[in-house]
Amino acid sequence: MSKSLRLSEKWFQRGLWLVAFVFAGFLIGLGSTVVGDLPQVERSLTLDDFIEQPAATQLREKLKLAERQGRDAQEALEQAKLKQRVAQANSRSASETFNNWLATRRATERAEQDPELVERTRALDSLKAAERQALASMEAEQQKALDASQGATRTRDRLNELQRDAQDKWQSARRAQELRVFLYRLALTLPLLAAAGWLFAKKRKSTYWPFVWGFVFFALFAFFVELVPYLPSYGGYVRYIVGILITVLVGRQAIVSLNRYLEKQKLVEQLPDAQRREELSYDTALTRLSKGVCPGCERAVDLKNTEIDFCPHCGIGLFDHCQQCTKRKSAFAKFCHACGADGKRPRLLPDTAAARPAGENGMA
């Protein structure tokens, strides 16, 4: 159709399409914001809304206490381990020193060293006792840490049981909430789609068609893009079923439209040639001719063949001859391309008008 438009008209058409897309873009932005804010009409549900609160609160407090006791026991255990290593090192060092001194005494066999032997033995026994005491303290702290850890584990297990009991209720409530939010979105987008369908059917060729097309683009985007990600899946069944329904509806409408078009074409092809040409708009005829098809039946025709003046499929006239200059021209052209005569009424050339008798010129 663009080939039948004037140059300025083409640019105006492009500008109006730009207006349509810009209008659709702003509408889509507004619609996305509204659709995105719709979940806020529902309170966000958490697992704590469905758990047994008194028991859960008690178990959480007990778990915090057990974890704190476990941390304290672990810190005390680290200190006890450090003291036990120090006591063990002192005892080992004293034992080595005592052994060396005892070897020297055996070599000298001096009796005056017996009191020192007793004293060293007592000191070594004290260090061994301190080592045993440090080991016992470390083992006690280990037991405390183990008790705290086991207590925290038991408390955590009981808390997990409460959470598992509430999990199913929470999931069911979330699915119901998601379905309600989807219905809110559907209630918003479905009327938009219906309005877009009405505008497309009734107003797409009106004066304000850019706004009509912009609204149509916006409604299609809102329904098929903004709505689909929030469609409840339920394991994929809903999405596939909805896809099948949409495909069936669109396919059925396409088949019905095709059959209606074919029936209309059959009826049109039975009309007289002149009537068919009158019902065809000038722009439509030029658009179809530019594509190499018959304006009447839209079947392919070799328009470059100068011997073809009528469509071999429907019989509509494609070319005729100017009544003024007899040049072959398109039967749908408004004016002759050779002499500029009216395509419907013959226009006399100046020399022809001068050559006519005076009576024919309206003169006495």
Cα angle for residues 107, 109, 113 (degrees, 5° grid): 115
328 beta partners: 321
Rg (the chain; Cα; Å):
49
pLDDT band at 361 (very low <50, low <70, confident <90, very high): very low
Q: Which neighbouring-strand residues pair with 293?
A: 300
The residue type at 199: L
- Structure tokens of 82? 């450090």
pLDDT tens digits, one per residue of 85-99:
777 777 777 776 766
Where is average pLDDT lowest: 93-102, 137-146, 165-174, 240-249?
Answer: 93-102
Check pLDDT > 50 for residue 200. Answer: yes
Give the percent of the chain with pLDDT over 90: 4
> Is residue 345 predicted with pLDDT exceeding 50?
no
Token pair of 204 as six digits: 């797409």
Quick one: DSSP state of residue 330? E
Give per-residue pLDDT as tens, 144-173: 888 888 888 888 888 888 877 778 888 888
C-alpha dihedral, 125 to 127 to 132 to 138, nearest 10°: 170
Structure tokens given for 217: 């683009």
Residue range 227-236, pLDDT digits in tens = 777 777 666 6
Burial 314-352 (b: 16+ CB within 10 A, else e): bebbbbeebebbeeebbbbbeebeeeebebeeebeeeee
Contact 131, 95 (CB under 8 A): no
Nearest to 24 by CA among 212, 211, 214, 209: 214
Per the DSSP assignment, residues forming a β-bridge with 330 are 319
As a whole-number percent, the residues of the chain with pLDDT over 70 amount to 81
| 89 to 96, 136, 277, 315, 324: CA distances (angstroms) | 11, 16, 116, 117, 128
pLDDT digits (tens, 9 = 90+) for 265-288: 788 777 787 777 777 778 888 888
Tokens found for residue 158: 């009981």
Mind listing the pLDDT tens digit for each residue in 209-219? 899 999 999 98
CB burial readout 5-22, b (16+ within 10 A) else e: eeeeeeeeeeeeeeebee
What's the CA gap between 359 and 207, in Å, rounded?
50
Residue 360 in this model has a pLDDT that exceeds 50: no
Q: Please name the residue that has the structure tokens 């005494």.
A: 105
Once rounded to an integer, what is the mean pLDDT over residues 304-333? 86
HSE, CB side, 13 Å, CA atoms: give it for residue 103: 6
Handedness of CA 152, 158, 159, 164 (dihedral sign): positive
Residue with tokens 């100046």: 350
Neighbours of 42 (CB within 10 A): 13
**Is pLDDT at 77 greater than 60 in this prediction?**
yes
Q: Round to whole Å and give the CA distance between 295 and 277.
A: 9
In the chain, where are the structural domains located?
A: 1-231, 233-270, 272-354
* Residue in this structure with the two tokens 């709505």, named with its chain if needed: 227
pTM of the model: 0.50
pLDDT tens string 10-33: 778 888 889 999 999 998 888 888
Residue 355 has pLDDT above 60, yes or no: no
CA distance 83 to 143: 17
DSSP string, 23-61: HHHHHHHHHHHHHHHGGGGSPPP-GGGTS-HHHHHHHHH
Which pair of tokens denotes residue 308? 């073809």
Dihedral sign for Cα atoms in the order 210, 214, 217, 220: negative
